[in-house]
Amino acid sequence: MVIIKPESAQMAKYAANAYLAQRITFINQIANLCEKNGADVQEVIAAIGFDQRIGSHYWYPGIQYGGSCFPKDVKELAAYSRAIGEGDGLFVKIDQLNDARPAKLVQKWDQQIKFSGKTVAVLGLSFKPNTSDIREAPALKIIPILQEAGATIRAYDPQAMDESRRFYTKVQFASSILDVARHADVLMLLVEWDEFKSLDFNKLKQVMKGHIFIDTRNQYQPADVAKHGFTYIGIGR
């Protein structure tokens, strides 16, 4: 038990969540640079992890940080910073970068593969694995943007299907991985469920119309996916 002032306890809670959110935002920015210069963000993470001041833990390049705590706590610190004349500080910028990232990613992918008229099969609707909680889930941000780009959306999640049906319009919900991939042009992995870590690309290729795999969690090696005839798109790779 740590005995501290109530004000310190409140700030400690905000500081912990904001720091972890900042690590995700930081590595996402590094991933952006890697995509421009040929580096692989996963290799960068492995290299910097040997520095004990940094460590190899809690580096998760992807779409953005989400869930029930990080977004609201960073936004609270950003709002408080503005209120006390610190509006040009770090927390405001972290919040802005996180909010803007999903649309920028979809825009970049759209330039590569043109979503209009294509069917995108989405794997993962919860905000993280092993929960049905969809608060601030990446799918809530990505799916509407894909639809605005002209894509038809099919979706599957091991636990969050019931909750998700109330939040989406014009989304076709599937019963399995192969079912969601059937006749799809693009397969997009949004959440690193265990069920999604051993995809059978040979079977997927047989049921899919197109063969593009967007791995937003960097769960697969690009060369391994390419061996099965898929175009691999990851984060920072």
For 154, phi then psi, to 5°, come to -115, 145
**Type of residue at 10:** Q
The token duo for 202 is 């040979």
> CA torsion sign, 60 to 62 to 64 to 69?
negative
Q: How far apart are CA 230 and CA 224, in angstroms?
A: 9
Spatial distance between the Cα atoms of 124 and 190, rounded to a whole number of angstroms: 5
Q: What is the side-by-side strand order in the sheet with 119-123?
A: 171-173, 152-156, 119-123, 186-189, 212-215, 231-233
Q: What is the DSSP pairing of strand 212-215 with strand 119-123?
A: unpaired
Give CA separation, 10 vs 73, 74, 87, 90, 114, in Å.
11, 13, 20, 19, 46
Residue 171: beta bridge partners?
A: 153
Bridge partners (DSSP) listed for residue 152: 119
> Has 69 been annotated as catalytic?
yes
SS3 186: strand
Residue in 39, 69, 103, 140 annotated catalytic: 69
Instruction: Name the one residue in this structure whose structure tokens are 């972890």.
Output: 20
Catalytic residue positions, numbered: 69
